[in-house]
């Protein structure tokens, strides 16, 4: 059916070793034989068998990319960046979705062992992240987005706390004082964003008000609706990711309030809808390309020198101010701080 290096050797009248050498270019093969081999490859329609090559050379040339769900726009963008870098480096990418399920995570890590992958880029749940250090992996591992508290692994993520603070400071500068926030309870990034929010609020002398919710728009919507029904309701709401942010927008509308005029809204993830909605939503844009590229970079560095100490790379977000946090003009609500 498909022809092997043996067939090429036979047709070219050389040994398989010579064909292999001509193919790899590692050793010099005489021009004459090289030409004959080229012709034979053409004639036989030869294609290298990557499984055989891997078995022999003990290099899979493959990296695993394990994320919660590729449909999450953050992971979509990061995946694309990772793949671009991978193919530039001549590596294949195996994509895995875990749905935040620790069992699936374990299964895929196991699969990566069996694939003898060159490396793995992984966005773990909190639970798995904490146990990751307990096991010795046969491949270098770079964590993205969710960074293990225990450390010990290379990682690249948004500087979550700083980004949250940026959001709070922006709202404060625009005249908002009663700033409440919903945060995702599934990954460590939600907790870190919460920390940054609380820290910034304290720094500004404001009283934090927050809630951890499951990663569903509806959960954020419910939380926000309760807050908005209060007499001294918040004058600004923030969400720790795009999904929750959508819930906030729905809640504001359902409460019959106007974005910005009645209540400001801001959040994380510069998804396309945050720009097209009116008014546009103020968000923290994550450096998704840089996260993917740097994850590959850390992987490459570790492959080169496995003794390197673990490195944690925190990248800054960018605050994109839009209409949803326009300067507060209406009189301060009773009970709000003077600023």
Partner DNA sequence: TTGAAAGCGCTAACAA
Partner DNA sequence: TTGTTAGCGCTTTCAA
Can residue 258 be called a binding residue for a second copy (CB under 8 A)?
no
27 binds, among a second copy, DNA, none (CB under 5 to 8 A by kind): DNA
Q: Which bin fits 335, alpha (ψ -120 to 50), beta or left (φ > 0)? A: left
Q: Which two tokens stand for residue 63?
A: 């990296």
231 binds, among DNA, a second copy, none (CB under 5 to 8 A by kind): none
**Longest alpha-carbon distance in the chain:** 93
- Residues binding DNA (CB under 7 A): 2, 4-6, 13-21, 23-24, 26-30, 32-33, 46-49, 52-53, 55-58
236 binds, among a second copy, DNA, none (CB under 5 to 8 A by kind): none
Q: How far apart are CA 80 and CA 73, in angstroms?
A: 11
**Cβ proximity to DNA, 30 vs 226, nearer residue:** 30
**Smallest gap from residue 206 Cβ to a second copy (A):** 29
* Burial classification of residue 108, based on how many CB atoms lie within 10 Å of its CB (0-12 exposed, 13-18 middle, 19 or more buried): buried
DSSP code of residue 325: G
**Distance from CA of residue 208 to its chain's centroid?**
28
**Smallest gap from residue 29 Cβ to DNA (A):** 4
Can residue 271 be called a binding residue for a second copy (CB under 8 A)?
yes
Q: How far apart are CA 274 and CA 268, in angstroms?
A: 10
- Where does the chain have alpha helices with state H? 5-12, 16-24, 31-44, 50-57, 73-88, 102-114, 126-131, 160-173, 188-203, 217-228, 242-254, 272-276, 288-304
**Smallest gap from residue 96 Cβ to DNA (A):** 21
**Cβ proximity to a second copy, 96 vs 213, nearer residue:** 96
**Smallest gap from residue 223 Cβ to a second copy (A):** 18
Q: How far apart are CA 161 and CA 142, in angstroms?
A: 21
Piece of 86-94, 121-129, 230-238, 320-328 that binds a second copy (CB under 8 A): 86-94
Q: Which two tokens stand for residue 91?
A: 């590596």
Q: Which two tokens stand for residue 315?
A: 């990248």
Can residue 318 be called a binding residue for a second copy (CB under 8 A)?
no
**Cβ proximity to a second copy, 97 vs 336, nearer residue:** 97
69 binds, among DNA, a second copy, none (CB under 5 to 8 A by kind): a second copy
Give yes or no for a contact between 259 and 246, defined as CB atoms under 8 angstroms apart: no
**Smallest gap from residue 330 Cβ to a second copy (A):** 22
Q: How far apart are CA 99 and CA 91, in angstroms?
A: 25
Q: Which two tokens stand for residue 207?
A: 């009283």
Contact string 64-83 vs a second copy (x = CB under 8 A)? -----xxx----xx-xx--x
Can residue 120 be called a binding residue for a second copy (CB under 8 A)?
no
| Short-list 134, 135, 137, CA closest to 121 | 137
Can residue 135 be called a binding residue for a second copy (CB under 8 A)?
no
Can residue 138 be called a binding residue for a second copy (CB under 8 A)?
yes
Q: How far apart are CA 213 and CA 222, in angstroms?
A: 10
Can residue 307 be called a binding residue for a second copy (CB under 8 A)?
no
**Smallest gap from residue 209 Cβ to a second copy (A):** 25
**Smallest gap from residue 300 Cβ to DNA (A):** 19
**Cβ proximity to a second copy, 113 vs 195, nearer residue:** 113
Binding site for a second copy (CB under 8 A): 1-2, 47-52, 54-55, 60, 69-71, 76-77, 79-80, 83-84, 87, 92-97, 110-111, 113-116, 138, 246, 249-250, 271-273, 276-278
């Amino acid at each position: 059916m498909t022809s092997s290096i043996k067939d090429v050797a036979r047709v070219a009248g050389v040994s398989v070793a010579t064909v292999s050498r001509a193919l790899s270019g590692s050793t010099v093969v005489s021009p004459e034989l090289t030409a004959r081999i080229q012709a034979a490859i053409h004639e036989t329609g030869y294609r290298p068998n990557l499984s055989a090559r891997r078995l022999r050379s003990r290099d899979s040339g493959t990296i695993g990319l394990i994320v919660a769900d590729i449909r999450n726009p953050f992971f979509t963008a990061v995946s694309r960046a990772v793949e671009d870098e991978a193919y530039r480096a001549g590596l294949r990418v195996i994509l895995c979705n875990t749905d935040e399920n620790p069992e699936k995570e374990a299964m895929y890590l196991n699969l990566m062992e069996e694939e003898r992958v060159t490396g793995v880029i992984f966005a773990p749940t909190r639970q798995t992240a904490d146990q990751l250090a307990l096991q010795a992996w046969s491949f270098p591992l770079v964590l993205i987005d969710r960074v293990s508290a225990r450390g010990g692994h290379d990682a690249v993520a948004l500087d979550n706390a700083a980004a949250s603070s940026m959001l709070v400071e922006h709202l404060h500068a625009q005249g908002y004082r009663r700033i409440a926030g919903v945060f995702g309870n599934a990954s460590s990034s939600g907790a870190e964003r919460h920390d940054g929010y609380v820290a910034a609020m304290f720094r500004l002398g404001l009283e934090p008000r927050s809630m951890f919710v499951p990663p569903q728009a509806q959960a954020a919507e419910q939380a926000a609706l309760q807050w908005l029904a209060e007499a001294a309701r918040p004058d600004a709401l923030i969400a720790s990711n795009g999904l929750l942010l959508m819930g906030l927008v729905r809640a504001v509308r359902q409460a019959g309030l106007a974005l910005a005029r009645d209540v400001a809204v801001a959040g994380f993830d510069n998804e396309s809808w945050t720009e097209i909605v009116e008014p546009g939503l103020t968000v923290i844009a994550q450096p998704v390309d840089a996260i993917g590229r740097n994850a590959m970079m850390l992987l490459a560095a570790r492959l080169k020198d496995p003794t390197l100490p673990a490195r944690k790379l925190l990248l800054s977000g960018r605050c994109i101010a839009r209409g949803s946090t326009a300067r507060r003009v209406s009189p301060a609500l009773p009970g709000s701080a003077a600023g």
